[in-house]
Structure 1
Amino acid sequence: MGKWPKPPEGSWTEHYPELGTGPISFRDSISPEFYELEREAVFKRAWLNVGRVEDVPRVGSYLTKDIAAARASVIVVRGKDEQIRGFYNICRHRGNKLVWNDFPNEEVSGTCRQFTCKYHGWRYGLSGELTFVQQAGEFFDLDPSRHGLKPVNCDVWNGFIFINFDPEPRWSLREFLGPMITALDDYPFELMTERYEFEAHNNSNWKIFADAFQEYYHVPALHSQQVPSAVRRPNATFECGHFQIDGPHRLVSTAGTRRWLLPPEHMYPVERATRSGLVGPWRTPETHFSAGLNPGGIEPWGITNFQIFPNLEILIYHGWYLLYRYWPTSYNTHKFEAYTAFHPARTVRERIEHEVASVVLKEFALQDAGMLGGTQEALEYGLDEPIVDEFPLSDQEILVRHLHKVVVDWVEQYRAERRAEPRSERKPVGV
């Protein structure tokens, strides 16, 4: 058989020649050794989103976040000066985990005036300072000013709280996000405070699940019950409207309306009854203007998915948004966090519309998640020498190509920096 024709000149991928157009490898998703390097090169150097300012709404509000890829737990707290700070969740006396409730491996949130260690009663103020030591006279030249909580770099962009484990980050948060993301400076995320959250522990590398939301090439096959019948015909066109790349970050926009234009027989009965579903409530507040919301100028615009490296996605719809985070827990497992965010419901009907949209979206995500185990298992066949190690990508899969290239590039840069270090200064990978 002959080759299929290549995409036309000027295709999306060819706008970014540094990506190439050849097959790619997924070894970065099946190697324990690569994962250890990725933890150091990516998750200990990039800015990571851990919440929003609404999660710590008043002085003394705090949350904890356990990040397996960094082998660390952090406390995020709003201080008396209203500044939001991050600290390692470690008591400076004997290393006990400082903030937890019934089970130390569970994340918690709340409000307090100070943090008190359960073990020996050391206390810390909201700015991390050591304020009380039980029987301080028993210690030898103890200087309280040197034993406050160890800080983690913390900054906020448009209400989203980010941390960075690098003691000296290579970029400020704003520099890291770059112009494509900060074009959303004026988008009013703070108005959408009614949230519906869910979490899943998945049997795949984190990038394998992220890949599922970077292209819609899979939609007619995998989500066949949620798309018009015309799209399911062989070779029917189903494409995104706009792809864009800026540094390590990615963006994809689709055309659409406030509801899929499906015949009633292809909707769940609850969607027909509530007039809400996969793309949210059919009636929502008018889309807020933002210069960055629809950079491709798609009409009618439907969704823009902002994929912030490494593990955050914000999908903005008409008057509401959806957020995903992928937290690696090993080379072939990860924790998936998601929530939908709406304007607070004014009536019982609006509340039901929001809940229905959230449940239908969860079902859609479960269909994607259902592929993960099979993909990971097959990629790991012949782990040291994969049976298949070259995978062709279509033009619509440009963002899949980009994510894996960026991760490999960050790891290669980290390796080069380690090679340049004097041997005496190197620390073992994974420490």
Structure 2
Amino acid sequence: MARWPKPAEGSWTQHYPELGTAPMSYEDSISPEFFELERDAIFKRAWLNVGRIEQLPRTGSYFTKEIHAAHSSIILVRDRDGSVNAFHNICRHRGNKLVWNEFPREETSGTCRQFTCKYHGWRYGLDGSLTFVQQEGEFFDLDKDNLGLARVHCEVWSGFIFVNLAAQPRQTLREFLGPMVTGLEGYPFGELTERYSYRAEVGANWKLYLDAFQEFYHAPILHGKQTPDNFSVAAQQAGFEAPHYQLDGPHRLVSTSGVVTWELDAAMRKPMEDITRSGLFGPWDVPDLGPMPAGLNPAGCEPWGLDSFQLWPNFTILIWSGGWYLTYQYWPTSHNTHIFEGNLYFTPARTPRDRVAHEMAAVTFKEYGLQDSSTLEATQLMLESRAVTTFQLNDQEILLRHLHKVAADWVGDYQRERTEAKR
């Protein structure tokens, strides 16, 4: 699925007949049984982004990642040869969690020379090898060479660290990403290392929050109060539609045209935006990042605002024309809860004004993220009532149709394979 129609060719949905135009069911977002299938069909088989290479700056740097949907905890560590290793966070002796601090359910990070189990003191090298066993002579036929940490498939693309929990991934990471995403190669992700993070526990299915960022139909209404009244009213009357949508395999893209904040009439700006020279669209002072890759702004929007690359299953890279980017991740914890993580990346601040501008963009985006999440629990509650079971989607909500179809396809494939394996 890699057909990229131009807007002039008509509606978006008609170019993807496999998605249909009928009212859509959200049973996949309210069914505990469907979520249990997603655990194995999706989160134990897809490539999952767990962080960036800057989180492992030197030999022995590590961090852990809790992947609740797969009942997994992963250790990511920089080896002595500079490579990144990933292991299941479990000791080979009695199954204790290997790396944790005061609270075993919380993620942690740091630097070490080796990993030591808190329970009985077994030690493991940065390459996962078992290097020490307390009272080794008391064990029976102990083969330390075969008792290293359980390795997880790990690959790095453009500084993003991905893991795959399958015994044998069906595709390499690059094959999984496909041409639309790998078309971003050359974007200077590694130069944007000043990071601002936020995290929230959300009482809604993980796909519902993804849906919130897959269309801009809601923007003039839900975010209307973020702008002065005269601009908000005009926006609501005019509505909004992104000029470009694109599908490639399980991944999705939406591009929007741009607004240069400082060129807006002063009545449409907030005083704090003028003071900090920053806001929703990022800092006004745009860094020179050099030529951009061909995969950015594929529709040639002019002026261009942003591209939101939504990587299956739960990772979004949103690149702004103002020379910064952010990522979203949605980590399921049950059929109706998930953890949302947002990270904003800028070039390192050179002056106090730069730092203030970055922080202004970060807090502004946090406010917008809260607005987007504010409707989700209400949506989840009413979907679970099943008072209505199918819902109307418009043409610009094509990415929602695609997301839920891909989820159904992956679960369906898994069920068929499991049935065939039993024959």
TM-score, normalised with respect to structure 1: 0.93
Task: Give % identity.
Answer: 61
Residues 244 and 92 of structure 1: CA distance in aligned 2, closer, same or farther (over 3 Å): same
Letter in 2 for 1:370: S
- The corresponding residue for 1:335 is 339
Deviations 1:89-143 (A, max 9, x none): 0000010100011111110111111100011110000000000001100000100
Alignment RMSD (CA, Å):
1.5
> 264, 275, 286: which one pairs with 1:284?
286
CA distance in structure 2 between the partners assigned to 1:320 and 1:346 by the alignment: 15
1:350 to 347, 354, 357: 354
Letter in 2 for 1:219: A
Q: Is the 8 A contact 1:197 1:339 kept in 2?
A: yes
Residue 302 of structure 1: aligned partner: 305
Asked if the contact 1:226/1:266 (under 8 Å) is kept, the reply is no
Match of 1:53 in 2: 53
**2:202 maps to which residue?**
202
Q: Per-residue CA shift, 1:44-103, capped at 9, x if unaligned?
A: 100000000000111111100011000010000111111101000000001010001111
Distance in 2, matches of 1:17 and 1:212, equals 23
* Equivalent in the alignment of 1:429: none
Structure-2 separation of matches of 1:240 and 1:142: 62
**Which residues in structure 2 correspond to 1:77-88 (within 5 Å)?**
77-88=77-88
CA 1:231/1:245 → structure 2, altered by over 3 Å: closer, same or farther? farther
1:313 and 2:321 are equivalent in the alignment? no
Equivalent residues in 2 for 1:134-149 (5 A)? 134-149=134-149
The residue number in structure 2 matching 1:3 is none
Q: Which moved more, 1:188-197 or 1:279-288?
A: 279-288
The equivalent of 2:103 in structure 1 is 103
Maintained 8 Å contact 2:91/2:98: yes
Aligned with 2:152: secondary structure? Answer: strand
For 2:220, the equivalent position in structure 1 comes to 220
> Gapped runs of 5+ residues in structure 2?
1-6
Extract structure 1 runs of 4+ deviating beyond 4 A: 260-263
Give distance in 2, aligned partners of 1:44 and 1:338. 23
Tell me the secondary structure at the aligned position of residue 304 of structure 1.
strand
* Distance (Å, rounded) in 2 between the aligned partners of 1:388 and 1:264: 45
- Supply the distance in 2 between the matched residues of 1:231 and 1:214 (Cα, whole angstroms): 23
Report if the CA contact (8 A) 1:80-1:126 is conserved. yes
Give the Cα separation in 1 of the matches to 2:220 and 2:236: 9
- For residue 4 of structure 1, what is the aligned residue in structure 2? none
State the AA in 1 paired with 2:336.
N
**Which of 252, 267, 272 does residue 254 from structure 2 map onto?**
252
Partner of 1:177 in structure 2?
177
Aligned CA distance change for structure 1 residues 304 and 260 (closer, same or farther; 3 Å): farther
Task: Report the alpha carbon displacement of residue 287 of structure 1 after superposing the two structures with TM.
Answer: 5.3
Per-residue deviation, residues 172-219 of structure 1 (Å, max 9, x unmatched): 000000000000111110000000000000000001011000000001
Q: Per-residue deviation at 1:392? A: 1.2
Check the 8 A contact 1:51/1:160 in 2, yes or no.
yes
Structure 2: which amino acid aligns with 1:309? W
Give the paired residue count.
412
Corresponding residue for 1:406? Answer: 406
2:87·2:128 contact (CA, 8 Å) conserved in 1? yes
Question: Aligned-pair distance for 1:8?
Answer: 9.6
**1:275: how far off?**
1.4
Select 1:272's aligned residue among 267, 271, 274.
274
In the TM superposition, what are the counterparts of 1:69-84 in structure 2 within 5 Å? 69-84=69-84
Please, what TM-score do these two structures have when normalized by structure 2?
0.95
* Conservation of the 8 A alpha-carbon contact between 2:224 and 2:236: no
1:362 to 2:366 alignment: yes
